[in-house]
Amino acid sequence: MVARVLRSAGVRLALGYALVFGISAAMLILVLWISGINILTRQVDAAIDADEQGLAEQWKQGGPEALFETIQSRIASNADNDSIYLVLDPKGDVVAGNLDSWPDQVSKTGQVYEISVNRNGKLNQARFHRYDLPAGYALLVGREVSSRVALRTLLAEVLAWSMVLIGLLSVAGAILLKKLFGRMVSQVSQTADAISSGDLTRRVAISGRGDEFDRMAETINDMLDRLNRLMDGVRQVSNAIAHDLRTPITRARARLEDASMHAGSAEQLRSAIDRAVSDLDGITNVFHALLRISEIEAGARRSAFVRLDLRPLLDDLRDLYGAAAEERGLSLTLSAPAELPALGDRELIQQAVANLLDNAIKFSPRQKSVEIVVEQTADTMMLAVRDHGAGIPVGDVSRATERFFRGEAARNTPGFGLGLTLVRAVAQLHGGTLELQDANPGLRATLVLPRASELRAGRGASPRAEAEGGTLASAEG
Please report, as ranges, the residues that interact with other proteins according to CB under 8 A: 274, 280-281, 284-285, 288, 291-292, 295, 300-301, 304, 316, 319-321, 323-324, 326-327, 347, 350-351, 354, 357-358, 361-362, 414-415, 419
Q: Cβ closer to other proteins: 31 or 291? A: 291
**CB 449, CB 431: distance < 8 Å:** yes
* Shortest separation between residue 168's beta carbon and other proteins, angstroms: 60
Q: Cβ closer to other proteins: 90 or 415? A: 415
Q: Cβ closer to other proteins: 203 or 362? A: 362
Q: Cβ closer to other proteins: 142 or 389? A: 389
**CB 87, CB 137: distance < 8 Å:** yes
Q: Give CA 233 to chain center in angstroms.
A: 29
Q: Cβ closer to other proteins: 311 or 362? A: 362
**CB 342, CB 452: distance < 8 Å:** yes
Amino acid letter for position 367: Q
- Taking CA atoms, 54 is separated from 126, 299, 308, 325, in Å, by 20, 91, 93, 118
CA atoms within 13 A on the CB side of 305: 26
* Shortest separation between residue 406's beta carbon and other proteins, angstroms: 14
Q: Cβ closer to other proteins: 78 or 350? A: 350
Q: Cβ closer to other proteins: 325 or 374? A: 325
* Shortest separation between residue 441's beta carbon and other proteins, angstroms: 21
Buried b (16+ CB within 10 A) or exposed e, 95-129: ebbbbeebbeebeeeeeebeeebebeeeebebbbb
* Shortest separation between residue 208's beta carbon and other proteins, angstroms: 43
Q: Cβ closer to other proteins: 163 or 280? A: 280
Within 8 A by CB and 6+ apart from 70, the residues are 54, 55, 58
* Shortest separation between residue 195's beta carbon and other proteins, angstroms: 29
* Shortest separation between residue 244's beta carbon and other proteins, angstroms: 17
Nearest to 384 by CA among 344, 438, 422: 438
What is the Cα–Cα distance from 349 to 356, expressed in whole angstroms? 11
Query: What are residue 372's DSSP bridge partners?
Result: 334, 385
Nearest to 396 by CA among 388, 387, 407, 404: 407
